[in-house]
Amino acid sequence: MKAALMGIFVLILMLAVMDTAQANTITGRVVGIADGDTLTVLDSSNTQTKVRLAHIDAPENAQAFGSRSKEALSTLCFGKPASVDVVDRDKYGRTVGVVRCAGQQANRKMVELGLAWAYGRNPKKPSQFTSVESEARRARAGLWVDASPVPPWQFRRARK
**Whole-number pLDDT of residue 1:** 57
Whether the pLDDT of residue 155 is over 60: the answer is yes
- The count of structural domains within the chain is 1
- Residues 86-143: pLDDT tens digits? 999 999 889 999 999 989 999 999 999 999 999 876 666 667 899 999 999 999 999 9
The residue from 29, 68, 94, 137 that is catalytic is 94
**Whole-number pLDDT of residue 20:** 40
The residue from 60, 108, 112, 133 that is catalytic is 60
In contact, 93 and 128? CB cutoff 8 Å: no
Active site residue 60: yes
Answer yes or no: is 7 within a domain: no
Answer yes or no: is 154 within a domain: yes
The radius of gyration of the chain from alpha carbons, rounded to an integer in Å, stands at: 19
The CATH code of the domain that includes 128 is 2.40.50.90
Query: Hey, which residues does 104 pair with through a beta bridge?
Result: 101
3-state secondary structure of 96: strand
Answer yes or no: is 10 within a domain: no
Range of the domain at 33: 24-159
The residue from 52, 100, 108, 133 that is catalytic is 52
Answer yes or no: is 3 within a domain: no
- Residues 15-45: pLDDT tens digits? 343 334 445 999 999 999 999 999 999 999 9
**Whole-number pLDDT of residue 159:** 86
Angle at 90 between CA 88 and CA 93, to 5 degrees: 105
Answer yes or no: is 97 within a domain: yes
Task: Please state, in angstroms and rounded to a whole number, the distance separating the CA atoms of residues 146 and 89.
Answer: 32
Largest CA distance in the chain: 72
Answer yes or no: is 60 within a domain: yes
Active site residue 112: no
Other CB atoms within 10 A of residue 107 CB:
27
Other CB atoms within 10 A of residue 35 CB:
21
Other CB atoms within 10 A of residue 43 CB:
14
Active site residue 94: yes
> pLDDT band at 8, cuts 50/70/90?
very low
Answer yes or no: is 17 within a domain: no
Answer yes or no: is 99 within a domain: yes
Q: What is the pTM of this model?
A: 0.82
